[in-house]
Amino acid sequence: MFQSTLNKKQFNILHLAGIYIHIPYCRKACHYCDFHFSTHFDTKERMVDALIREIILRKDFFSSPIDTIYLGGGTPSVLSSEELSLIFKSIHQHYALSTTLEITLEANPDDINDDNLSLWRSLGINRLSIGCQTFDDAILIQLNRIHRANDSITAYHMARAKGFDNISIDLMFGLPTQTEQQWIADLELAMSLQPEHISAYGLTIEERTVFGNLHKSGRLTVPGEELQARYYEQMMTMLADKGYIQYEISNFCLPGYKSKHNSSYWNQEKYLGIGPSAHSFDGSNRMWNDANNMTYIKKIESGQVPYTLETLSLKDRANEYIMTALRTKEGITLQKLTEELHYPEEKLRGILPWLVQNGWIEQSSDQISLTSSGKLLADEITLKIFLN
């Protein structure tokens, strides 16, 4: 049943190496966000120096040229031209770079102006990920975003005019007070801009956030699970109608515009994470950097990288593969799961027919992937397939 026509060498045809750089500063704290960031910029200069030191300390991480660089956050667009230039200079000095490098910068609409766009282009940044979230001003205010809908639209057009031909837009749905009409209007506006890529996430209420506290005390109402599922289904239909490919549960692109960087996370490629809270994977170990800005800076200044290391067992690697691959359009390659990662075939035989009969999973030769209704239950299905 799980035989394949593929041979092992064909599993990961495309090997990509990527660097992620975490910029842990934001001008304002969004009420939903629990990513690592600070709104106090007093350590920024020392932080940039520490990031550069870490780039140098870990220069031997890869044995092949870098294919992708991703500056995320936090808000990397808050960096000055000098700070960004120094970071890029150190990468160029210490790493071999591929000739087809994808360099993404997460940029908030309020930081997008003519000078910054020129600088980013001159540094080789060829992909912008713009945090629009919604085009509804009242909801943007509730989210505590610093920008308004018109800022996003103007920023988008400015980036286009400056020659950025690979732009991604971040959207969120299931937001407090967001009606179905508002969500449809957001999608229509986003599609009218014709970005190459759209990432869209259903709101998750995170404990240590303003929304988390409000929700706990019953002072925040958000669309329920059923409504959020409907918003998700609408999005899948509307984006598919406009030619967007859903290549991952939350990510859509026009043909040829997958995020190479994110795809390498989902394909379990090696990646190096620089900066506080950044994660790395070297093929068998996961490392995650300390998430406290001052602790990170001090440790790096003493010549050490403050990370915790975990060597993944075969079971961990199988579970990680299930978790990430199931989210992608291609899904899980069964031969890789059973032969390379030693997942027991009898367990698959026990659960796969049931998942297929319920219409959640589809199987084509050696691949299993989520159907549209399966995508709504992705977490539950992942847990069913996990090894305990």
What residues make contact with ligand SAM under the rule CB under 6 A?
Answer: 30, 32-33, 35, 72-73, 75, 106, 108, 131, 133, 170, 172, 201, 203-204, 206
Which one, 202 or 306, has the nearer CB to ligand SAM? 202
Rounded to a whole number of angstroms, the minimum distance from the CB of residue 346 to ligand SAM is 37
**In this structure, are residues 158 and 45 in contact, taking their beta carbons and an 8 Å threshold?**
no
Rounded to a whole number of angstroms, the minimum distance from the CB of residue 367 to ligand SAM is 28
Which one, 178 or 367, has the nearer CB to ligand SAM? 178
Rounded to a whole number of angstroms, the minimum distance from the CB of residue 23 to ligand SAM is 9
d(CA 134, CA 235) in angstroms, rounded, equals: 14
Which one, 191 or 352, has the nearer CB to ligand SAM? 191
Rounded to a whole number of angstroms, the minimum distance from the CB of residue 339 to ligand SAM is 35
Rounded to a whole number of angstroms, the minimum distance from the CB of residue 330 to ligand SAM is 23
Tell me the three state secondary structure of residue 7.
coil
**In this structure, are residues 367 and 332 in contact, taking their beta carbons and an 8 Å threshold?**
yes
Strand duo 285-289 + 307-311: pairing? antiparallel
Which one, 217 or 302, has the nearer CB to ligand SAM? 217
Tell me the three state secondary structure of residue 263.
helix
178 CB burial (10 A radius; 0-12, 13-18, 19+): buried
Rounded to a whole number of angstroms, the minimum distance from the CB of residue 324 to ligand SAM is 17
Question: How far is C-alpha 7 from the chain's CA centre?
Answer: 30
Phi-psi region of 177 (alpha: psi -120 to 50; beta: other; left: phi over 0): left
Alpha helices in 195-242 (DSSP H): 210-216, 225-241
Alpha helices in 95-148 (DSSP H): 114-122, 137-143
Q: What size, in residues, is the chain?
A: 388
d(CA 38, CA 295) in angstroms, rounded, equals: 14
Which one, 72 or 223, has the nearer CB to ligand SAM? 72
With a CB cutoff of 8 Å and minimum separation 6, the contacts of 228 are 173, 174, 202, 203, 222
Rounded to a whole number of angstroms, the minimum distance from the CB of residue 215 to ligand SAM is 11
> Whose CA is closest to 184, among 252, 237, 139, 261?
237
Beta bridge mates, 309: 287
d(CA 167, CA 179) in angstroms, rounded, equals: 27
Which one, 33 or 153, has the nearer CB to ligand SAM? 33
Rounded to a whole number of angstroms, the minimum distance from the CB of residue 220 to ligand SAM is 12
Rounded to a whole number of angstroms, the minimum distance from the CB of residue 104 to ligand SAM is 11
Which residue's CB atom is positioned nearest to ligand SAM? 131
Which one, 131 or 374, has the nearer CB to ligand SAM? 131
Which one, 128 or 348, has the nearer CB to ligand SAM? 128
Rounded to a whole number of angstroms, the minimum distance from the CB of residue 171 to ligand SAM is 7
CB atoms within 10 A of CB 15: 11
Which one, 201 or 288, has the nearer CB to ligand SAM? 201
d(CA 261, CA 197) in angstroms, rounded, equals: 13
**In this structure, are residues 294 and 288 in contact, taking their beta carbons and an 8 Å threshold?**
no
Which one, 49 or 206, has the nearer CB to ligand SAM? 206
